[in-house]
């Protein structure tokens, strides 16, 4: 159970750790307070607990595809928050508009992180709760979970320190591109869940790149968490990814400064 726990917890932690890292780095680069992370973590853990406690009821909704619908709603809401996030940069910055966008950014970042923790955290809680009645497995599951969480948080920390320690302009550009990829990923995952629930039509995969990077390989898993890598996506998934990724890039290109970052 030790290795299973390492892999499972790592997979769940990684996606949340990476988005937290990018948003924290964005806060540092833009001289925003990082206080929002505290409320986001607390709210996220409470939401994950609430979701996990209601999972049996939710899974029965919509003729037993309730989890897909709720998770898809969480993912599309996250994508929507990120689009609003990208829209809140004004070329001609006045002190009032700057203050307002800073405040709304912090609220949006807290909500995005809260949803990420709720989405990933409820799966961890369901997994761990399965071992309550089996004391013989407590030790391997606990140690494995700790190692998995440790690796996930370390990868997130590596990304965070890389983004804040390179040139501020490059760091911001990289953070924005990662946010655009993350938004595309959320939309594509949401679309896949609606296909799985038969709310959207299925179709043949557009391509299959598993010969190059298998989804269950280490690189495949990392790319899945970072940019939503899918070896055999359908047209709807790829389309949802493309629409949201392009929209984010267009918003950033229209509203973000084109010259090197001068600080505030």
Residues forming the site for other proteins (CB under 8 A): 4, 8, 55-56, 59-60, 63-65, 67-69, 76, 79-80, 83-84, 86-88, 90, 123, 126-127, 129-131, 133, 192, 194-200, 202, 204-205, 210, 214-216, 230-234, 240, 243-244, 247, 250-251
Compute the least distance from the CB of residue 155 to other proteins, in Å: 20
Nearest to 77, CA basis, from 55, 49, 102, 47: 47
- Separation CA 9–CA 151 (nearest Å): 9
Nearest approach, Cβ of residue 40 and other proteins (Å): 22
Residue 27 CB, shortest distance to other proteins, in Å, is 20
Nearer to other proteins, 37 or 112 (CB): 112
35 Cβ neighbours under 8 A, 6+ residues apart: 106
- Pick 39 or 87: Cβ nearer other proteins: 87
Could you report how far apart the first and last alpha carbons of the chain are, in Å? 50
Report in angstroms how near the CB of residue 1 gets to other proteins at its nearest.
Answer: 9
In the bound state with other proteins, the residue whose beta carbon lies nearer, of 158 and 253, is 253
- Backbone angles phi and psi of 205, in degrees to 5: -60, 145
To other proteins, the closest distance from the beta carbon of 19 in angstroms equals 19
Q: What is the DSSP string of 178-231?
A: HHHHHHHHHHHHHHHHHHHTTSS----BS---TTTS-TTSHHHHHHHHHH---S
């Amino acid at each position: 159970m030790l290795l299973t726990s390492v892999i499972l917890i790592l997979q769940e932690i990684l996606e949340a750790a990476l988005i937290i890292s990018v948003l924290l780095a964005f806060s540092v680069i833009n001289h925003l307070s990082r206080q929002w992370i505290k409320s986001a973590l607390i709210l996220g853990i409470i939401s994950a607990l609430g979701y996990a406690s209601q999972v049996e009821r939710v899974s029965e909704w919509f003729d037993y595809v309730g989890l897909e619908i709720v998770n898809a709603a969480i993912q599309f809401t996250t994508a929507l928050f990120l689009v609003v996030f990208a829209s809140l940069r004004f070329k001609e910055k006045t002190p009032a508009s700057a203050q307002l966008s800073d405040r709304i950014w912090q609220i949006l970042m807290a909500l995005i992180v809260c949803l990420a923790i709720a989405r990933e955290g409820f799966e961890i809680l369901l997994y761990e709760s399965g071992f309550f009645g089996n004391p013989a497995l407590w030790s391997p599951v606990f140690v494995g979970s700790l190692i998995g969480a440790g690796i996930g948080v370390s990868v997130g920390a590596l990304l965070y320190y890389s983004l804040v320690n390179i040139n501020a302009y490059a760091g911001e550009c990289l953070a924005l591109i990662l946010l655009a990829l993350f938004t595309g990923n959320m939309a594509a995952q949401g679309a896949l869940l609606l296909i799985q629930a038969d709310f959207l039509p299925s179709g043949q995969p557009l391509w299959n790149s598993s010969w190059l990077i298998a989804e269950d390989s280490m690189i495949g898993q990392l790319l899945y968490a970072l940019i939503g890598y899918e070896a055999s996506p359908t047209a709807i998934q790829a389309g949802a990814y493309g629409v949201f990724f392009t929209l984010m890039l267009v918003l950033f290109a229209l509203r973000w400064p084109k010259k090197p970052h001068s600080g505030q």
